[in-house]
Amino acid sequence: MDIAVCVGTCCYLNGSYDTLKEFTSQADKAGIKDKVNLHATFCLEGCSQSPSIRINEEIIEGVTSDKVAGIFKKKVLDKVK
């Protein structure tokens, strides 16, 4: 599973590095780091609702770090396990 967190200017300014850190932490805690390709990417064209992420082909906007746990469980963990 591919998880890309935008680190373009808008997303960066709205906390995407915290979002990326939280995804890393969630993957670590769940013990599935080897099953996800977690990486930074540039603009996903969702700047107005940043931070934006892409899970496989799905773009999700407004993913602040406090929303990561819920999205991770629903979109990643339930599908990987």
- Site of interaction with ligand FES (CB under 6 A): 6, 8-11, 43-47, 50, 52
Q: What are the distances in angstroms from CA 47 to CA 8, 58, 65, 79? A: 8, 15, 16, 27
Q: Which is nearer to ligand FES, 55 or 77 (CB)?
A: 55
CA 65 to chain centre: 9
Give min distance, CB of 61 to ligand FES, in A.
Answer: 8
CA 32 vs CA 13, 27, 69: distances in Å: 28, 5, 14
- Select 28 or 45, whichever has its Cβ closest to ligand FES: 45
Question: Least distance from C-beta 44 to ligand FES, angstroms?
Answer: 4
